[in-house]
């Protein structure tokens, strides 16, 4: 005895719903196997479901396509910031600047190491400290660090901040579409289950083969269990052929 199984992909869900909708539209109300209420609900839901799934895929694809650009913008901001700190430390080592210069940037006076910039949050925190510190130091009469100047570092950093904000926006959109898609999938399964129950009930009095054929026209998918497959040996053929057992 074959059994039915609800769709487990978005494409299969859409196909099942469209099959039921198409055959119902081609029949007068008195001959439809599904109720008028289910038909109205189906018509309303399909467009919403398809639209959300499309938005989810498009946003995810767009984010993936831009990930390379974002990584490069992040890398450039980090490199320019590291180079600035190293040049500043070299100036201190040469005696051009005093060790107390590091205090402008929130760095320890006697610590020449570059702070950790492994995460985006660390890069943002230290980027702001370094830029604000250098601008304050220059305003108090200090000579600018060059190659790179803080103006160049600031351009790279602001490019990263802009890209980071947009990256976060895309991540949030993907999350929102994903949550909505999950909820819509549950609703889709409920609608399909309701329709399939109505269809099988409508054809319940027909002979098994005819009933199953009518139900399949409405999009119901039946599967055979392994025990329902029988081995048939074709004369002259060295290999057995498996086919579905008639029921």
Structural domain includes residue 227: no
- Count of domains observed in the chain: 1
pLDDT single digits (tens) 165-192:
999 998 998 889 899 999 999 999 999 9
Structural domain includes residue 236: no
pLDDT single digits (tens) 68-109:
899 999 999 999 999 999 999 999 999 999 999 999 999 999
Structural domain includes residue 234: no
Output b/e per residue, 80-111; b: 16+ Cβ within 10 A. Answer: bbebbbeebbebbeeeebeeebbebbebeeee
Structural domain includes residue 35: yes
- Indicate the pTM of the whole model: 0.71
In which domain, by residue range, is 44 found? Answer: 18-218
Question: What's the confidence (pLDDT) of residue 146?
Answer: 95
User: Would you tell me the crossing angle of helices 120-139 and 150-202 to the nearest 10 degrees?
Assistant: 150
Q: Which residues contact 48 (CB under 8 A, 6 or more apart)?
A: 184
3-state secondary structure of 1: coil
The segments of the chain whose pLDDT lies below 70 read: 1, 227-247
DSSP per position, 54-111: HHHHHHHHHHHHHHHHHHHHHHHHHHHHHHHHHHHHHHHHHTSS-GGGGGGGT--TT-
Structural domain includes residue 237: no
Question: What's the confidence (pLDDT) of residue 227?
Answer: 65
How many helices, marked H, and strands, marked E, lie in the chain? 5, 4
């Amino acid at each position: 005895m074959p059994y039915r199984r609800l769709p487990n992909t978005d494409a299969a869900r859409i196909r099942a719903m469209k099959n039921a909708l198409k055959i119902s539209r081609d029949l007068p109300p008195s001959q439809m196997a599904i109720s008028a209420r289910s038909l109205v609900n189906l018509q309303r839901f399909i467009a919403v479901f398809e639209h959300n799934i499309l938005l989810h895929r498009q946003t995810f694809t767009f984010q993936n396509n831009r990930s390379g650009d974002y990584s490069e913008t992040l890398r450039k901001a980090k490199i320019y910031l590291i180079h600035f700190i190293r040049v500043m430390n070299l100036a201190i080592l040469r005696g051009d600047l005093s060790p107390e210069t590091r205090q402008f940037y929130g760095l320890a006076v006697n610590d020449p190491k570059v702070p950790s910039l492994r995460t985006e949050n660390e890069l943002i925190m230290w980027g702001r400290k370094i830029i604000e510190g250098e601008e304050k130091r220059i305003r108090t009469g200090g000579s600018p660090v060059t190659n790179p100047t803080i103006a160049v570092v600031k351009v790279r950093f602001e490019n990263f901040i802009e890209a980071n904000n947009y990256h976060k926006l895309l991540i949030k959109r993907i999350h929102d579409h994903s949550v909505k898609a999950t909820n819509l999938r549950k609703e889709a399964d409920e609608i399909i289950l309701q329709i399939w129950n109505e269809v099988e009930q409508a054809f319940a009095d027909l002979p098994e083969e005819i009933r199953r054929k009518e139900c399949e026209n409405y999009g119901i998918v039946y599967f055979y269990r392994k025990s329902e497959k029988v081995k048939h040996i074709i004369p002259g053929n060295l290999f057995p052929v498996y086919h579905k057992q008639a029921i």
